[in-house]
Homo-oligomer: A and B are copies of this chain.
Amino acid sequence: MGEKSVQELHAPSSICFGCGPSNENGLQIRSFKVDSGLEMEFMPKPEHQAFPGMINGGIIGTLLDCHGNWAAAMALMDQRGDLEPPCTVTASYSISLKRPTPFGGSLKVTAEAFEVKEDRAIVKMILMSEGKICATGEGLFVAVKEGHPAFHRWS
């Protein structure tokens, strides 16, 4: 394993389908900090295809949504000078599928928060395969307040 992902560092017991380290039936994405935000690599399984050889758009959306949500959480943490990220949820996201995403190799996904406010961030995500951009996305992610059902989602 080596370096720990932000999910393993900050939410090791999360059961989220996309990003929970503790969901053995989930995608278990692993996102890492880079200068521009977060990046990750993901190796799809056969069941993640839409048809033989190409990845399903819903799986692509799930990767970009969860990875983008973590980019927002980390951007808010850094802006606040905190050591732990706030619990953020997705308000909305959009996915543009530029070309079929091939099955068989690793996918690289980047996420960059480009508008960070007090309790929310807009994040742009890019999915690449074999050096080509296959999909792009944008999401609005919001830090929830105490009392919201997601307030303790990372713990």
Contact = CB atoms under 8 A, between A and B. Distances in A.
A138 to B, nearest CB: 9
B17 A47 contact: yes
Interface stretch (A54-62, A77-85, A118-126): A54-62
Nearest to A99: B149
B47 A23 contact: yes
B97 A94 contact: no
Given A26-B47, A51-B150, A56-B16, A92 B100 contact: no
Closest 9 CB pairs of A and B: A58-B62, A25-B47, A94-B94, A17-B56, A51-B153, A61-B61, A57-B90, A92-B96, A18-B58
Interface of A: 14-18, 23-27, 45-54, 56-59, 61-63, 65-66, 89-97, 100, 149-150, 152-153
Contacts of A27: 58
11 contacts: A17-B58, A24-B47, A50-B153, A51-B149, A54-B149, A57-B65, A57-B93, A61-B62, A61-B95, A92-B96, A93-B95
A61 B17 contact: no
Contacts of A61: 58, 61-62, 65, 93, 95
Nearest to A144: B100
